[in-house]
Amino acid sequence: SQTIHQWPATLVQPVGSPLSLECTVEGTSNPNLYWYRQAAGRGLQLLFYSVGIGQISSEVPQNLSASRPQDRQFILSSKKLLLSDSGFYLCAWINIGVSAFFGQGTRLTVV
């Protein structure tokens, strides 16, 4: 069966520190993977998506980057966090029109 793992669940980081959020999927190969951010009181903003190893599409210019080092691994990173990076980050594996699986999310608080 298909599953998606995302960690950590909660993270508190100081301004200027680096970030690494990891997402892995099981039960499929060559998945389309996505990172979304949900800020307080706002909807889901698409940040990055990847259709294969090393292929990253960025939707919003910002302080974040993404990488796809392995077929079933998707990583969200930052070299230096800003206060505005706080939010709820969701990894998703989506085959549009067919299926979509979301991770449990990471609540990031930048202090």
Binding-site size for other proteins (CB under 8 A) equals: 27
Instruction: Work out whether 105 is an interface residue with other proteins (CB under 8 A).
Output: yes
Instruction: Work out whether 102 is an interface residue with other proteins (CB under 8 A).
Output: yes
Q: Which stretch binds other proteins (CB under 8 A): 11-19, 60-68, 71-79, 99-107?
A: 99-107
- Give the CA radius of gyration of the chain: 13
In 3D, which of 58, 59, 61, 73 has the Cα closest to residue 20? 73
Sites of contact with other proteins (CB under 8 A) = 6, 9, 32, 34, 36, 41-44, 46, 49, 51, 57, 59, 88, 90, 92, 94, 96-97, 99-100, 102-105, 107
